[in-house]
Structure 1
Amino acid sequence: MTSILSYPGSKWNLAPKIVASMPSHDTYVEVFGGTGAVLITKPRSKNEIYNDIDDNLVTLFRVVRDPGKRQKLIELLTLTPYSRSQFYECHKKLGAKNYENDIEQAWLTFVVSNQSLSGLGLARTASWSMGPRLTIRSKWTKKIQNILSLAHRFEQVQIECRPWDYIIRTYDTKKTLFYLDPPYVTDTREPTLYNMEMFPHEHVTLIKQLLELKGMAIVSGYDFSYYEKLTDAGWERTTIDVHAIMGGKQHDARKEILWYSPNCNQDGDQQRLF
């Protein structure tokens, strides 16, 4: 299954490796949900929670899960051209919150995400994504077709739109596995990349909360001094070379770091397949 969204920093390429290294758990929580890449890739858990503070993303997932609203969304998208004028009109309306209901909001979100260059339309002023007409149109059609598969996967998923600290406090148990892919520290990547940023002091607060977890956690991010506190506290650290694509260009390889809390190994050593 693939995504219905194009979004910067999405973990589709890493998701199979992350899932393969997960410890056993009853409850799975994707704290900074984004495209839901890891949740969609993994087998179902007894309890699953998708959370994102971005109301546009959450509304789209909720509409997709509702049979009646989903059908209306698909009908709208099927009639929507892949065009420059359509993209800029939708981008303007979404930014101004100029929509009548959740179905229209979901439609605008889908269009802006999938017709913008590198999926940056949801985060900032962005450009329409150009390309070979048949290739682009095929990708657009495929995204619409993916809606039904996503709806099936999200049937039993609880969808939240709450701050990350609330989600961690609320769902923290010994059998909970949190996956966290927070907005990267601005010093490590391009600024204004995300719609919802995290400031340095919030990363510090997040690390403190992670060190007090009863449950298990996997954290992904770029190498930054703040997160060395996790390594110092006994979290396992794994490094992966990744190539980010922004603005249609592939950038030099960067080091993506995965941190595993000590209790991820409570059932014995997990094999990190990297």
Structure 2
Amino acid sequence: MESNLTIKPVTPPAPYLGGKRNLAKRITARIAGIPHRTYVEPFVGMGGIFFRRTTAARAEVINDLSGDVATLFRVLQEHYPYFIDMLKWRLTSRAEFDRLRALPADRLTDLQRAARFLYLQRLAFGGKVRGRNFGVDRRSAGRFDVTKLEPMLADIHERLAGVVIEKLPYADLIRRYDGSGTLFYLDPPYWGCEADYGDGFSRADFEMLAEQLSGIAGQFILSINDTPGAREVFSRFDIEAVETTWTIATASTGGGQRVGELIVSGGSG
């Protein structure tokens, strides 16, 4: 199987609930160590792993059932200059945050929707997707600064060249792209937090996902919070327990909370 291309990691565009910043080095090293021609992420979110990888496969697919996520990456891929123009005059403002949060996303153009989503995610406390609140840190400058955002978004635009962007249910995506040379990285909602990202994933989906992964022709790596339920559902696969920091706890504790995570792997490779 051909070697994958060595690439420079880039910074994800915004915080996202369940982002893998503190586990990225470990997970990306595992990905780089598994030979594959096609790389697929069914739950890409803000690309906490995708953008931090150090290798690129011949074919790459990112997917999220969220219309906001899929639209943002498609706009960054296809309409980058127009998107930057839309962002130029936006400032970090609680009033603007509240105004955009109240707008129904499905009534906006793709450019407007992408700009709204990026603005809200950059400024929302803890990278929350539902129940967003305006995040404040008295020690830091405003988090929506186009002079700093523009070079980062330019790197993302370049990284997305040739990447297939899908908006499918995870099961359909896995069926469509599975094969002997495919590697899936899956970052589903945390156990117990299934509704935090919106509709489209329930507790029953964990068992259905495990069953589907047990029959794929490719290989997979999956990360999830360490709970008895997750251990039971994914017990048929190889499981490594690791410790990481959950930074959303900083508002109440003044520091990250140490939590357990599972890195699950398997497949037919």
Pairwise TM-score range, normalised by the shorter structure: 0.7 to 0.9
Deviation (angstroms), 1:133: 7.4
TM norm structure 1: 0.85
Alpha carbons of structure 1 residues 251 and 197: separation in structure 2 relative to 1, 3 Å? farther
Higher relative contact order (CA 8 A, sep 6+): 1
Report the Cα distance in structure 1 between the residues aligned to 2:240 and 2:147, rounded to whole angstroms: 37
Aligned mate of 2:257, from 229, 242, 252: 252
Partner of 2:41: 30
Long gaps (5+) in structure 2: 1-9
Letter in 2 for 1:115: L
Deviation (angstroms), 1:13: 2.4
Q: Does 1:161 align with 2:167?
A: yes
Report the Cα distance in structure 2 between the residues aligned to 1:210 and 1:83, rounded to whole angstroms: 44
Report the Cα distance in structure 2 between the residues aligned to 1:177 and 1:57, rounded to whole angstroms: 21
RMSD of aligned alpha carbons = 2.0
Aligned mate of 2:234, from 208, 230, 238: 230
Paired residue secondary structure (1:97): helix
Q: Does 1:65 align with 2:69?
A: no
Aligned mate of 2:216, from 207, 210, 213: 213
Paired residue secondary structure (2:217): coil
Deviation (angstroms), 1:30: 0.5
Long gaps (5+) in structure 1: 267-274
- Give the conservation status (yes or no) of the 8 Å contact 1:236–1:262: no
**Higher mean C-alpha deviation, range 132-141 or range 15-24:** 132-141
- Give the conservation status (yes or no) of the 8 Å contact 1:183–1:197: no
- May I ask how many residue pairs the two structures share in their alignment? 253
Q: Does 1:240 align with 2:222?
A: no
Identity rate of aligned residues, in percent? 26
Q: Does 1:13 align with 2:25?
A: no
Report the Cα distance in structure 2 between the residues aligned to 1:168 and 1:138, rounded to whole angstroms: 35
Paired residue secondary structure (2:244): strand
Residues 190-234 of structure 1 show CA distances to partners (whole Å, capped at 9, x for unaligned) of x74323452111111111101111110001001232443433x3x
Report the Cα distance in structure 2 between the residues aligned to 1:82 and 1:19, rounded to whole angstroms: 33
- Give the conservation status (yes or no) of the 8 Å contact 1:28–1:47: yes
Q: Does 1:102 align with 2:105?
A: no
Q: Does 1:114 align with 2:114?
A: no
